[in-house]
Amino acid sequence: MISGFFKNENINVKKETSDLFSVQTNLSKATEYQPLIKLKATSYSETKVDVKAKTSGEVVKIGAIQGKFIEKDEVLCSLGVVELNRTEVKAPFSGFIEKITKPGNFLERGQVCATIIKLDPITFFAGVPEYDINKVRIDQKVNLELVTGQRISGNLTFVSKSASPNTRTFRVGSMIKNPDGFIKDGLTANMSIEIDKVKAHKISPSILLLNDEGKLGIRIIEKDNLAKFVEIIILEDSEEGLWVTGIPEQVEIIIQGQGFVEDGQEVITNRI
């Protein structure tokens, strides 16, 4: 009689267990992650000026040609004026000559002799969306990938206190040393700003769910093997997977069968 009693009990337990849905899970532990704010940036020269003649006269000689580097106070244009006196137009600072008039041209007072551009330093500017501006501050590390393929690292040197009324973005800048003038004015680049590190999980996009309210999340296992939907925040969609926050630092995530269970439902877990 006793042995028969235990036999029946085992049958009942097996039947009860078979009524529970089986899911595959993975124990995920958050790791330190470096979030990035990715922007489109453009380089701007420190100074670009038109150097003008202070008197009228024919250009009898120029001190350099277009594209050449010239030092401060070097002569740009020599003008022949009344009584054969010569008036020299000099460079106000060291820089590259963008444009310069040709000998034989006549310049009226106030007309441009040459245009000089200063490329050291050069600043990359971009616009940070208003929802990200509180994450950004001066001295954060910046990585730049220029359209030419060149990669440069620097720091944020400017963060605007006022948003653009048209784009609702805040202007930020990174001033970069450019002694050889290799980085040209007006180059586009991909700018990545390294903001504060966080603890995050790397998950597969295939386990994502939408709840009845349209929120994006995953299902996890809580105490007593109960399933629960939790909303997530996606930090980055990389080739290796999604980096997400919004869930505990250590959590058992349902990776197969998550779409077939409801919140509060007890399940059988098969951890892999």
**What is the spatial distance between Cα 24 and Cα 18, in angstroms, rounded to a whole number?**
16
Each residue of 8-58: pLDDT tens digit? Answer: 444 343 334 458 999 999 999 999 999 999 999 999 998 999 999 988 889
36-45+120-194 is a CATH 3.30.300.20 domain = no
Segment 122-151 mean pLDDT: 96
User: What pTM, to 2 d.p., does this model score?
Assistant: 0.76
Domain coordinates of the chain in residue numbers? 20-32+199-271, 36-45+120-194, 47-118
Work out the average pLDDT over 162-171.
95
pLDDT tier for residue 1 given thresholds of 50, 70 and 90: very low
* Mean pLDDT of all residues belonging to the chain: 90
Give 47-118's CATH code, choosing from 3.10.290.10, 3.30.1060.10, 3.30.1010.10, 2.40.50.100: 2.40.50.100
Q: Mean pLDDT over residues 143-149, rounded?
A: 96
Q: What is the CATH number of domain 20-32+199-271?
A: 2.40.420.20
Mean pLDDT computed over 149-168: 95
Per-residue pLDDT tens over the stretch 72-114: 999 999 988 654 556 889 999 999 999 999 999 999 989 999 9
